[in-house]
Amino acid sequence: MKVVFSGGGTGGHIYPALATIDEWSKQDPQVDFLYIGGERGLEKEIVSGAGIKFQAVKIKGFVRSISFENLKTIYLFLTAVRKAKKILKAFQPDVVVGTGGYVAGPVLYAAQLLKIPTVIHEQNSVIGVTNKFLKRRVSKVGIAFPTAEHFFKTSKIVGNPRAQQVVSGSLKSNFDLSDLSLLNDLPTVLVFGGSQGAPKLNKAMVEALPTFNQQEYQIIFATGKNRFQQVQDQIEAAQLKVNSNIKIMPYIANMQDLMPRVDLVIGRSGATSLAEQTALGKPMILIPSPYVTNDHQTKNAQSMVDAGAALMIREVDLTGSVLATQVNALMLDQKRRLQMAQQAKKLGVTDSADQFINLIKSAL
């Protein structure tokens, strides 16, 4: 059996695909996988690093306004469709699976033109642009949020495959916080703004450092690879010190190993992050990105707040003072954190990869 996956742009579209491939490979080592991503996308580095066959097409997303750039994008899309068709004809997959991001558009469209079964996964509570384009001719649809059901004629709630991978990893995780020069027996907060980082969250963290330096809990703060030096410059310019209870780093490669060890997670409300955190039952402070399609991160976050699993700070309201106040309120109230953790756990779908694999097979 041969299966093509496509998705990219952000880790939220890549990791569900990799989690599905990982679980499927364990179930059937004979399945042959190929990942088609963008030439310049984050997926090229991540997928190749995971040891999965990778090929690329040249594509970029549409500008969300009337622009000459969109004419170039249309040309790139058509060119990418032609290249994707060549790749698919050579590989001859039984099914092509899209996990979101603009690169999945030409790849799955090419598969549809070639009459190859296609399956898409919608991670968010609101349908993305690519999946909106593909939904009319897709064979099967898997969704993570029940609120996305009405966007599709037929769909199945399968959760987010990343959740199962994270839970499986947590059972054997023995992450040693001393490797980060932190203590294993101290309550720990994890702060990250996604794989690219979040400038306003980073700025609020810098502003809150004087308060966090004084606390009896510890913080792991991932700035995003390309924003680490900017944060260091901000700290130096403000003449701030960073005490030993705070670890600042660009990126956390082994997030699935670290996540089970933390007591509170602060960050964006992308679908994959929420899937990981609910599967592990983590209380959350969510700062939705206002720069995404249909403000879907706010809708994702609100579903967590409504369930009693999270607090939400809108980016427009985010300051160092607001952030520090919210963090202290939870870190100094263990009972409240445990209640939020229980509510988060109720939302987690821990067999999500299995469910998605079965859905893909049903498309054949």
Q: Specify binding-site residues.
A: 10-12, 124, 195, 252, 297
Question: And the tokens for 187?
Answer: 């309550």
**Residues in the annotated binding site for UDP-N-acetyl-alpha-D-glucosamine:** 10-12, 124, 195, 252, 297
Q: Contact at 8 Å (CB) between 277 and 256?
A: no
The number of beta carbons lying within 10 Å of the beta carbon of residue 333 is 12
Strand ranges for 21-164 from DSSP E: 32-38, 54-57, 95-98, 118-122, 140-143, 156-157
In sequence order, what DSSP letters do the residues of 321-349 get, joined into one string? HHHHHHHHHHHT-HHHHHHHHHHHHHH--
Residue type, 70: N
Q: How many Å apart are CA 87 and CA 36, to the nearest integer? A: 9
In sequence order, what DSSP letters do the residues of 275-329 get, joined into one string? HHHHHHT--EEE---TTSGGGHHHHHHHHHHHTTSEEE--GGG--HHHHHHHHHH
Angle at CA of residue 300, ends 65 and 107, nearest 5°: 55
